[in-house]
Amino acid sequence: MKLTWLTLAALAFAAASLGIHTPARAADPAVTHHTTKIAGLNLFYREAGDPARPTIVLLHGFPSSSHMYRDLIPKLAVQYHVIAPDYPGFGLSDQPPVAEFAYTFDHLAAVTDEFLNSLKLAKYSIYIQDYGSPIGFRLFVKHPEKIQAIITQNGNAYEAGLSPAWQPFRAYWQDKSAENEAKLRGFLTLETTKFQYSAGFRNPAHVSPEAWAHDQRTLDQPGNAEIQLALFYDYQNNVKQYATWHAALRQHTPPVLAVWGKNDPFFLPAGAQAFTQDVPDAEIHLLDTGHFALEEDCGEIAEYILHFLGEKLGSPPSHETASSSALPESVVQQFYAAVTRGDGPGALALLNDPLEWTETARFPYYSGTWHTPEEIRTQLLIPLSRDWAEFAPAAQEYIATGDRVIALGTYRGTSKKNGIKINTAFAHAWTVRNGLITKFDMFLDPQEVIEAVK
């Protein structure tokens, strides 16, 4: 995240006043890395969080691995137990040749199921992205009683979600000719892998090169092209199972959250919206980014997930029952999530009465220091709802010590007055005591916001 000089100066001042001398995030649970034997193969996985808490299983896409969740895992593990495996043929798991292992989605799902059974997980939620969707839905159809919630991030389950980019795959399904195969081999090149990490992104510079480099190392291994071609061909069987998945959704009505990069060249926003056909109360959020949405919007997606699961699973406590034992960072995250979803009462429930709340001078809504939640409702939350579409304070980093938290992020939104989009860096200094916010100070350069609300 690139911060303006003013924000950095403000952060330095705030950090000094709080007595913070290191950017380390002490609250982040450690991520551990393991390899276990499943069906005779070495299967790699990442794990974090307390196993006594509800579990979230993160199922990766093509051509990635659990590496795509490297930033999301610690954010979720503050409240949940998180597991993220690499499938056979991907990442750091074994990659037996196609002559020795059937690379079908049925088989990958069976191996994943055996892996989860080895961990003795009675129930879990699934986060599905790309290939994670057909694997996750096979688990759901087989074990609906185990699946507590489905979180789909560009994890398609509907014909409406398949873009024209799937035409070369459809041709291959009809005719496995050398000509059609050659076209699909183009999807295994470095150029295409980089494309998946840049197409539709607000700023491709947000993506760390290690992401696409890690994926390409897998694709370039001897024999991996044949593995991927086998899965490309078998993907047609996922489409054939869509109706079965839809019926299971209607029958079992799991909680569904779709947090979708709306600029994905492969899976269209209609694929996210289609979930409401079978789960009418599915929660849908379309983000202004691409296929690997976590590379740009990890913080925002984590906030959506934490709020969604808090409501659906009852843990962690929702904003209606603010806990005096809640970690200050968690309270701040809940506040951001409430503002992002336009939940004014949820945001106000996290504020102490009285408090000290100070916006940056020259910020359009600045009018000195506010001291009551009612002032914040009338002077800030109502104007935000009036002036902005999809307004979101997206925090990317937190620095916490005791009851004090500094959050670094960006304000995003579209002005209802003139259509101007903002992506304004901020630094926020918070004080949280007994589970409630008692003090807030904002630091940013307000010029971009001023221009947008003229």
With H, G, I as helix, E, B as strand and everything else as coil, classify residue 358.
strand
Q: Say what percent of the chain tops pLDDT 90.
A: 62
Instruction: Please say if the pLDDT value at position 411 is more than 50.
Output: yes
**For residues 246-275, average pLDDT:** 97
User: Would you say 193 and 211 are in contact if contact means Cβ atoms under 8 Å apart?
Assistant: no
> In Å, how far are 125, 150, 166, 250 from 255, measured between CA atoms?
9, 6, 29, 11
Whether the link from the prior residue into 222 is cis, omega within 30° of 0, is no
Give residue 454's pLDDT band: very low, low, confident or very high (50, 70, 90): confident
Task: Please state which of the ranges 114-123, 178-187, 354-363, 445-454 shows the lowest mean pLDDT.
Answer: 445-454
> Going by C-beta distance under 8 Å and a sequence separation of 6 or more, which residues neighbour residue 102?
none
pTM exceeding the 0.95 threshold for the entire prediction = no
271 sits in which H/E element: helix 269-273
Mean pLDDT of 345-352: 84
Query: Is the pLDDT confidence value at 403 over 90?
Result: no
Q: How large a percentage of the chain has pLDDT more than 70? A: 90
291 is catalytic: yes
pLDDT at 124: 97
C-alpha to C-alpha distance for 65 and 132, rounded to whole angstroms = 10
Q: What is the pLDDT of residue 325?
A: 58
Angle at 85 between CA 83 and CA 90, to 5 degrees: 160
Query: What is the Cα–Cα distance from 326 to 330, expressed in whole angstroms?
Result: 7
The per-residue pLDDT for range 30-81, each reduced to its tens digit, is 899 999 999 999 999 999 999 999 999 999 999 999 999 999 999 899 889 9
Q: Among the options 60, 285, 291, 319, which is catalytic?
A: 291
- In this predicted structure, what is the pLDDT of residue 4? 53
Range in 15-29, 176-190, 417-431 with the lowest mean pLDDT? 15-29
**Least confident window among 1-15, 236-250, 432-446:** 1-15
Query: Which pLDDT value is given to residue 320?
Result: 39
Say which CATH topology domain 28-313 has.
Answer: Rossmann fold (3.40.50)
**Residue 386 pLDDT exceeds 80:** no
Residue in this structure with the two tokens 């004080």, named with its chain if needed: 431
User: Can you tell me the mean pLDDT for 121-141?
Assistant: 97
Which residue(s) pair with 411 in the sheet? 393, 424
Confidence band of 194 (pLDDT split at 50, 70, 90): very high
The CATH architecture one would assign to domain 327-452 is Roll (3.10)
287-345 pLDDT, tens digit per residue, is 999 999 999 988 889 888 988 898 888 754 433 344 555 688 889 999 998 888 777 76
What residue segments make up the domains of the chain, in order of their start?
28-313, 327-452
**Main-chain dihedrals φ then ψ at residue 62, nearest 5 degrees:** -95, 140
